[in-house]
Amino acid sequence: MREHSDIVIAGGGPVGATLALALADSDWRVQVLEARADLSRAAHKRTLALSYGSRLILERLGVWSRLDDVTEIKDIHVSQRGSLGMSRLRATEEGLPALGYVVDYAELDSVLHDALRASAVDVVVGARVTTIAHNTGYARVQVEQGGATHYITTRLAVVADGGAGGAERVTREYDQHALLASVTTELPHQGCAYERFTADGPVALLPQGDGFALVWTATPQRVTELLAMPDDEFLLALHAHFGDRVGRFLSVHARASFPLVLRYAQDTVAPHQVMIGNAAQTLHPVAGQGFNLGLRDAWELAEMVRDCDREALGSLDMLKRYQASRRVDTSASIFFTDLLVRLFSNANPLLQHSRSLGLMALQLVPPAKHMVARRMIFGARG
């Protein structure tokens, strides 16, 4: 562990690793502090929906071609249970090979760390950042490793994971849990992802391999019931809830769940410190925006740091400019996902009729559909 680095990144997950790799060939000395003690072990297995814009970032880092378990999302079918309104976003209409991709989190994490090991970036494992203090000209990072406390100074401390930044956060509970599973179906997915809104919350089917990754949002009580069901009973319940668009559900495995919450920092910067990714904002998984927003945080911060001179690195003026550059994308993503949850996760008959008309209008007005697709793929700046 180096006692001083130009840039210290707290959190070596995909967002922190993306920032480190984007700066690996710069003139800055970069150190990543990762709480996990062994990066050779696979991270928690879960599914990620990456936008085409995120693919471009990973291509620029030279890691996209190393991913093996990738499934294209060519179309996105959006509908509402109990109404006729629907819309379909197509990659061909956007002039792209795919709208997005479904990848395995553990594989992406592993590929990024393989690239880090081959770079000039210093990676320290088993190192948990506990506090960050601000001093004139630098930040002082407190790190716990192997039962010992260490202190590191840096011109710029980047919090990419967890709450070490200590900023005040806005929290909104949704009273929803997400049930995750892998399912196979009677009909092939043909690269189509489904987002189906119900009164309990959205249900997403993401094409993955020969089947789908399922994200079923419901009340905590209902999710507890679904987790306890035998497989055949669960598959019947899923079919009754989702409908016939993919035929019968044939198998399910790896059921798990987690609570859903919106949490974001009101101010993501302080002198010589900035928060990105989940440290800055945690979004509802509807529309799959959260992780892609974090990658854009990392990429745009790296671009600003690369153009920064040594005296300005980590200054509050520099970080305020970064925060301002991200404000539209971040605010729009938070507003969009929160609005979808609030508008669609209820049984209000007047809202249901309006939602149906809205989905029909989106399908029938190509400029509006194009705008929504571009925002989902590339963020608020399109």
**CATH classification of the domain holding 256:** 3.30.9.10
Is 232 inside a domain boundary?
yes
The three-state DSSP-derived secondary structure of the chain is: CCCEEEEEEECCCHHHHHHHHHCCCCCCCEEEEECCCCCCCCCCCCEEEEEHHHHHHHHHCCCHHHCCCEEEECEEEEEECCCCCEEEEECHHHCCCCCEEEEEHHHHHHHHHHHHHCCCCEEEECEEEEEEEEECCEEEEEEEECCEEEEEEEEEEEECCCCCCCCCEEEEEEEEEEEEEEEEECCCCCCEEEEEECCCCCEEEEEECCEEEEEEEECHHHHHHHHHCCHHHHHHHHHHHHCCCCCCEEEEEEEEEEEEEEEEECCCEECCEEECHHHCEECCCHHHCHHHHHHHHHHHHHHHHHCCCCCCCCCHHHHHHHHHHHHHHHHHHHHHHHHHHHHHCCCCHHHHHHHHHHHHHHHHCHHHHHHHHHHHHHCCCC
Q: Regarding predicted confidence, which is higher, 2 or 136?
A: 2
CA 193, CA 212: separation in Å to the nearest integer?
9
Is 117 inside a domain boundary?
yes
CA 11, CA 124: separation in Å to the nearest integer?
10
Q: What is the pLDDT of residue 52?
A: 97
**Residues facing residue 101 across a β-bridge:** 50, 72
Residue 307: CB atoms within 10 A of its CB come to: 9
Q: What is the pLDDT of residue 41?
A: 63
The model's pLDDT over 126-150, given as tens digits with 9 standing for 90+, comes to 999 999 998 889 999 999 999 999 9
Q: 280 and 228, same structural domain? A: no
CA 284, CA 268: separation in Å to the nearest integer?
19
Q: 123 and 229, same structural domain? A: no
Task: Give me 151's structure tokens.
Answer: 């202190």
Q: What is the mean pLDDT of residues 283-290?
A: 90
pTM: 0.94
204 falls in which pLDDT band (50, 70, 90)? very high
CA 328, CA 54: separation in Å to the nearest integer?
18
Is 113 inside a domain boundary?
yes
382 falls in which pLDDT band (50, 70, 90)? low
CA 279, CA 275: separation in Å to the nearest integer?
6
164 falls in which pLDDT band (50, 70, 90)? low
Which of 213, 232, 261 finishes a domain?
261
254: left (phi over 0), alpha (psi -120 to 50) or beta: left
Q: What is the pLDDT of residue 181?
A: 97
Is 332 inside a domain boundary?
yes
Is 96 inside a domain boundary?
no
Contact (Cβ atoms closer than 8 angstroms) between residue 12 and residue 39: yes
Q: What is the mean pLDDT of residues 208-224?
A: 96
Q: 224 and 274, same structural domain? A: no
Mean pLDDT of the chain: 93
Q: 268 and 283, same structural domain? A: yes
Q: What is the pLDDT of residue 82?
A: 82
Q: What is the mean pLDDT of residues 153-160?
A: 97
Is 78 inside a domain boundary?
no
Q: 325 and 178, same structural domain? A: no
The model's pLDDT over 218-257, given as tens digits with 9 standing for 90+, comes to 999 999 999 999 999 999 999 999 999 999 999 999 999 9
Q: 149 and 15, same structural domain? A: yes
- pLDDT of residue 42 exceeding 80, the answer is no
Which of 243, 261, 279 finishes a domain?
261
Q: 180 and 257, same structural domain? A: yes
Query: In which domain, by residue range, is 146 found?
Result: 4-44+57-70+105-169+262-341
CA 372, CA 362: separation in Å to the nearest integer?
9
Is 129 inside a domain boundary?
yes
Q: 185 and 210, same structural domain? A: yes
Q: What is the pLDDT of residue 162?
A: 66
- pLDDT of residue 301 exceeding 80, the answer is yes
Q: What is the mean pLDDT of residues 65-93?
A: 93
Q: What is the mean pLDDT of residues 77-100?
A: 93
The model's pLDDT over 309-339, given as tens digits with 9 standing for 90+, comes to 999 999 999 999 999 999 999 999 999 999 8
Structural domain total, the chain:
2
Q: Regarding predicted confidence, which is higher, 273 or 84?
A: 273
Is 363 inside a domain boundary?
no
CATH number at residue 335: 3.50.50.60
Q: 327 and 210, same structural domain? A: no
**Residues facing residue 8 across a β-bridge:** 31, 157
Q: What is the pLDDT of residue 351?
A: 76
Contacts of 37 (CB under 8 A, 6+ apart): 125, 126
Contact (Cβ atoms closer than 8 angstroms) between residue 18 and residue 298: yes
Question: For residues 215, 220, 224 and 229, what is the CA-based torsion angle, rounded to 10 degrees?
Answer: -50
